[in-house]
Amino acid sequence: MPDNGKEANAARPLALGGVSVVELGQGVSAAFAAKLMALMGAAVIKVEPPEGDATRRRGPFPGDIPDPEKSGLFRYLNADKRGITLDLLNPADRRTLDDVLAGADILIHNVAPYQRRARGLESDAVSRRHPRLIVTAIAAFGGYGPRAGYRAALEFRGFPTGPTCRR
């Protein structure tokens, strides 16, 4: 008889086993969604900009000594993921991303709507290039509509002193 069900659960296939996910963006939303997919068995590739994800600069840090390789938040959100560094403002790196997406099942990102075109991440364009890819785009105020251009006050800036939204 299995002890506490651990042996029985270990033999079960994971819900997203065999699924390939590409995650990109900054901060928590896309990273957390992709973390949940990784916990369900998906193979996740995190795409970071050359300066690294903003969560690398957030603590907690061991001994309160900031180190982008030791951020507790970054490590928590990105456990069980592989990583690649790409500058999506560079056409060659956008082509590399397209090569990665060609073998993926899901793209999840939180690039702001006003930044998507320059990075080749408009959902319609990505779907045309990769028709079988599931594209999930997270935006603080939606991808279209009267507030789509609003910028959310990011938790990485601390508490805003003025309005939390601005164009």
Give the chain's count of helices (H) and strands (E).
6, 7
Per residue in 83-110, pLDDT tens?
Answer: 999 999 999 999 999 999 999 999 999 9
- pLDDT at residue 126 greater than cutoff 90: yes
- Higher per-residue pLDDT: 38 or 12: 38
CATH class of 16-166: alpha beta
pTM of the full structure: 0.82
The angle subtended at Cα 30 by Cα 56 and Cα 157, nearest 5°, is 50
- pLDDT at residue 159 greater than cutoff 50: no
**pLDDT of res. 135:** 96
| Burial (Cβ within 10 Å: 0-12, 13-18, ≥19) of residue 101 | buried
- pLDDT at residue 158 greater than cutoff 60: no
Q: Report CA dihedral (116, 122, 125, 127) to the nearest 10 degrees.
A: 130
CB 61 within 8 A of CB 75: no
Per residue in 17-52, pLDDT tens?
Answer: 999 999 998 889 999 999 999 999 999 999 999 999
> Once rounded to an integer, what is the mean pLDDT over residues 126-145?
90
